[in-house]
């Protein structure tokens, strides 16, 4: 099964580009520069995005990348659980709705979307963009702070996705937030975070918490045991996305693509159909005589070299890359 395209769906790009039209390029570029400085300084979105122009700069320069990472993580969930077909989904910390758009791409069955954010500006924007470009027939906007002890007043959702939002939650509040999100999940919960050592470490804390609550790990880990990686190593993935013209102009960048690094965790009330024996957790390094792979396998982390002359083993991994699951028995990889 191939992963969904990492590119923003054309109707969504068109809806964003229509809003960028007529806005001064220099102003948008300045907002985008401030935005990335703010995120680099670990400011929250609330501090960084203060008005519509900031939100537009986010739409042009960050949303294509967060969408690409989220749709890839959802593709991994779909690959592991091909019969799962969510209908109601919650996009928690929705921003402009990248996770809802990604879920609608991954599963045409999604027809009811709830956006949750503490920002009224984002909720309005996400709702408008989805109405203009998405297939969902029912859209609800919930203005709430999910770090506060208020219940989310909605029945549990088939799918809950949190994209690049837990990273903004204080460490002390994370366990309660995770408990709340899990309580809202009747099917699967997917968390996508920036691919940094800090966010990986926090995600592993979240993973332990979810395991204690009875969740099944679906991806990326091929097992339910404690994460075998030791700092300073960390588990993250990468997705290449094309930069459309508006993206390049507002970012002031020439390259026609960028690589987004992300960490993710997909858990469920159900487990994967057939757990893989391993997952490739680093870029493949190939040379004339074979390929080196970094694997999370068999509850342990290991590096393996597969020479080309070992034809049966080489054949199994020839087309595999960073992020892919492997299904061969662990001792054969």
Ligand X SMILES: C[S@@+](CC[C@H](N)C(=O)[O-])C[C@H]1O[C@@H](n2cnc3c(N)ncnc32)[C@H](O)[C@@H]1O
Binding residues for ligand X (CB under 6 A): 45-46, 63, 66, 93-95, 98-99, 117-119, 122, 145-147, 163-165, 168-169
Residues 262 and 193 sit within 8 Å (Cβ to Cβ)? yes
CB of 93 to ligand X, least distance (A): 3
**Residue 332: closest CA among 277, 288, 275:** 277
| Nearer residue to ligand X within complex by CB, 88 or 118 | 118
Residue 305: partners with Cβ closer than 8 Å, 6 or more residues away: 290, 291, 292, 293
| Nearer residue to ligand X within complex by CB, 192 or 293 | 192
CB of 60 to ligand X, least distance (A): 12
CB of 92 to ligand X, least distance (A): 7
CB of 216 to ligand X, least distance (A): 24
| Nearer residue to ligand X within complex by CB, 125 or 234 | 125
Strand partners, 296: 279, 301
CB of 271 to ligand X, least distance (A): 26
Residue 4: partners with Cβ closer than 8 Å, 6 or more residues away: 71, 72, 74, 75, 102, 105, 106
Residues 16 and 129 sit within 8 Å (Cβ to Cβ)? yes
Which residue number is nearest to ligand X in terms of Cβ? 95
| Nearer residue to ligand X within complex by CB, 64 or 268 | 64
| Nearer residue to ligand X within complex by CB, 35 or 210 | 35
Alpha-carbon distance of 93 to 99, in angstroms, equals 9
């Amino acid at each position: 099964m191939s992963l969904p395209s990492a590119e923003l769906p054309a109707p969504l790009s068109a809806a964003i580009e229509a809003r960028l039209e007529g806005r001064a390029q220099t102003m948008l570029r300045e907002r985008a520069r401030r935005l990335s400085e703010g995120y680099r300084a670990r400011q929250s979105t609330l501090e960084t995005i203060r008005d519509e122009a900031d939100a537009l700069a986010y739409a042009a320069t960050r949303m294509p990348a967060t969408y690409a990472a989220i749709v890839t993580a959802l593709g991994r969930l779909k690959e592991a659980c091909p019969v799962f077909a969510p209908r109601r989904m919650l996009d928690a910390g929705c921003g402009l709705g990248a996770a809802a758009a990604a879920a609608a791409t991954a599963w045409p069955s999604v027809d009811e979307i709830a956006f949750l954010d503490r920002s009224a500006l984002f909720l309005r924007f996400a709702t408008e963009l989805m109405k203009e470009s998405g297939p969902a027939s029912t859209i609800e906007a919930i203005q709430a702070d999910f770090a506060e002890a208020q219940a989310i007043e909605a029945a549990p959702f088939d799918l809950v996705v949190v994209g690049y939002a837990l990273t903004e939650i204080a460490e002390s509040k994370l366990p309660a937030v995770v408990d709340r999100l899990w309580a809202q999940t009747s099917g699967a919960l997917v968390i996508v975070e920036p691919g940094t050592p800090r966010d990986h470490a926090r995600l592993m804390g979240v993973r332990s918490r979810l395991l204690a609550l009875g969740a099944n790990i679906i991806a990326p880990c091929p097992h339910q045991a404690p994460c075998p990686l030791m700092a300073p190593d960390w588990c993250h993935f990468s997705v290449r996305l094309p930069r459309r013209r508006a993206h390049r102009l507002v970012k002031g960048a020439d390259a026609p693509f960028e690589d987004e690094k992300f960490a993710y965790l997909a858990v469920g009330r159900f487990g994967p159909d057939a757990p893989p024996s391993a997952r490739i957790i680093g870029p493949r390094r190939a040379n004339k005589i074979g390929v080196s792979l970094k694997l999370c396998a068999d509850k342990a982390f290991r590096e393996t070299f597969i020479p080309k002359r070992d034809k049966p083993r080489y054949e199994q991994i020839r087309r595999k890359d960073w992020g892919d699951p492997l299904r061969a028995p662990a001792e054969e990889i």
